[in-house]
Amino acid sequence: MTQVYEEDGTVVPVTVIQAGPCNVLQIRSVDRDGYSAVQLGFEDKPRRLASRAERGHVAKLESKRSKKRAEAGVELVEKAGCEPQRFIREFRGESDLSVGATVTVDAFEGVGSVDVTGTSKGRGFSGVMKRHNFSGQRASHGVKKVHRHAGGTGCSASPSRLFKGIRMAGQYGNVKVTTRNLALVRVVPEDNLMLIRGAVPGPNGGLVVIRKTNKVG
């Protein structure tokens, strides 16, 4: 994160995101796949680290199976002809893009707000004070070494169980999170950068998915 200045001198906190270039790997259609979508890949993966399946996903590889399918008249899926990609995601909806095309940050030119989806920072097994913002027990002499404990969770002889959804200690973070309706402050096409107001999920260097927001108001 950093900050930029508006024309009136206002300081705006922003997150700088490298958005692209992304290669169009596949085009999903209703006739072939049952739904419409565009599959995008970001960041080249070295071939020595990519499996044969990953390399065959983006480029044509000769094999006995492909030869048999070609001889049988089966139409092979068009390949993007690029390097294997590290981060692959699909975006639902109709599109006029074609396989092998490149999507850059220019696609967000004129967009006012975006939704950012990423994996939040994993904080491991955390207590109730860290996970749910509990106040903890009293710091008095009567409380003996349980100052950060949850305390009573209710339910005595009846119904003799805990209800679902009781806030307790447990796994905190490392989940899919979407931050919605963030203002797009600036687009830098020459460096494929986006400056988005506020914070986004995940650590520095994390991978995120950016969409034009559908939130109204």
On the question of pLDDT at 88 being above 90, the answer is yes
φ, ψ of residue 32 to 5 degrees: the values are -90, -40
In 73-201, beta strands by DSSP E: 85-92, 102-103, 113-119, 125-126, 170-171, 176-188, 193-197
The amino acid sitting at 70 is A
Check residue 60 and give its pLDDT.
Answer: 84
Report DSSP state, residue 134: -
pLDDT in tens, 99-156: 888 999 998 988 889 999 999 999 999 999 999 999 999 988 889 999 999 988 888 8
Work out the percent of the chain whose per-residue pLDDT is above 90.
59
Check residue 215 and give its pLDDT.
Answer: 82
3-state helix, strand, coil in the chain (%, to 5): 15, 35, 50
Kindly report the number of other CB atoms within 10 A of residue 195's CB atom.
18
Give bridge partners of residue 27 from the DSSP assignment: 38
For the segment(s) 22-102, the CATH number from 3.90.280.10, 3.30.540.10, 3.30.365.10, 3.30.160.810 is: 3.30.160.810
Let me know how long the chain is: 217
Check residue 72 and give its pLDDT.
Answer: 84
Encoded tokens for 181: 């309706």
Which pLDDT band holds residue 209 (cuts at 50, 70, 90)?
Answer: very high
Check residue 66 and give its pLDDT.
Answer: 79
On the question of pLDDT at 217 being above 70, the answer is no
On the question of pLDDT at 210 being above 90, the answer is yes
Pairing verdict, β 125-126 and 170-171:
antiparallel
Whether the model pTM is above 0.85: no
Measured between alpha carbons, how far is 31 from 17 in angstroms, rounded to an integer? 35
To which residue do tokens 């001198």 refer?
A: 9
Map residue 135 onto helix, strand or coil: coil
Mean pLDDT, rounded, of the chain: 90
Q: Give how far the C-alpha of residue 86 lies from the chain's centroid of Cα atoms, to the nearest Å.
A: 13
* Torsion, CA 193, CA 197, CA 200, CA 205, rounded to 10: 30
Comparing 45-54, 60-69, 203-212, which segment has the lowest mean pLDDT?
60-69
Report DSSP state, residue 7: T
On the question of pLDDT at 213 being above 70, the answer is yes
φ, ψ of residue 170 to 5 degrees: the values are 170, -170
The amino acid sitting at 176 is K
Work out the percent of the chain whose per-residue pLDDT is above 70.
100
Query: Domain limits of the chain?
Result: 22-102, 126-169
Whether 208 and 194 have beta carbons less than 8 Å apart is answered as no
pLDDT in tens, 148-188: 999 888 888 888 899 999 999 999 999 999 999 999 999 99
